[in-house]
């Protein structure tokens, strides 16, 4: 039987933020392999909840929507690399700082003011994504 997982995004809640890639991105791809949650995708590429995570079966996400963990989701950007905010944990639980921002040669991996989450929420998201709890 497939496991059902649930995650609810919190918008503008606390002080920490998910990371986003701005349109200054030069599409070098340096950020993509650095993400421990596989939340970074090349422009135009479909993404999946299961990519780089332990999620499987049906996943219940923001607002109660249920999707298959391996179902292809629409790209956030068709032009440049993008970060799926709901998979971004700012590397909390893995590294001291967001690795995408650390390796970006043009500093286009920045805080996303639309997705604020506390360190505790980011850690819980990491545990959910990797089914550690």
pTM here is 0.85
The residues of the chain scoring below 70 in pLDDT are: 1-16, 133
According to the model, what pLDDT value does residue 67 have?
A: 95
Calculate the average pLDDT of the chain. Answer: 88
What are the distances in angstroms from CA 51 to CA 4, 73, 95, 119, 130?
16, 11, 19, 23, 11
- By the 10 Å C-beta count (0-12 exposed, 13-18 middle, 19+ buried), 132 is classed as exposed
According to the model, what pLDDT value does residue 9 have?
A: 41
- By the 10 Å C-beta count (0-12 exposed, 13-18 middle, 19+ buried), 60 is classed as middle
């Amino acid at each position: 039987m497939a496991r059902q997982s649930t995650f609810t995004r919190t918008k503008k809640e606390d002080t920490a933020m998910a990371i986003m890639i701005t349109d200054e991105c030069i599409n070098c791809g340096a950020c993509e392999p650095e993400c421990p949650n596989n939340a970074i995708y090349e422009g135009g590429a479909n993404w999946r909840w299961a990519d780089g995570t332990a999620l499987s079966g049906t996943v219940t996400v923001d607002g109660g929507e249920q999707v298959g963990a391996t179902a292809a989701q629409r790209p956030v950007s068709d032009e440049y690399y993008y970060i799926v905010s709901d998979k971004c944990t700012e590397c909390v639980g893995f590294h001291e700082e967001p690795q995408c921002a650390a390796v970006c040669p043009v500093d286009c991996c920045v805080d996303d003011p639309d997705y604020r989450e506390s360190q505790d929420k980011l850690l819980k998201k990491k545990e959910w994504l990797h089914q550690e709890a």
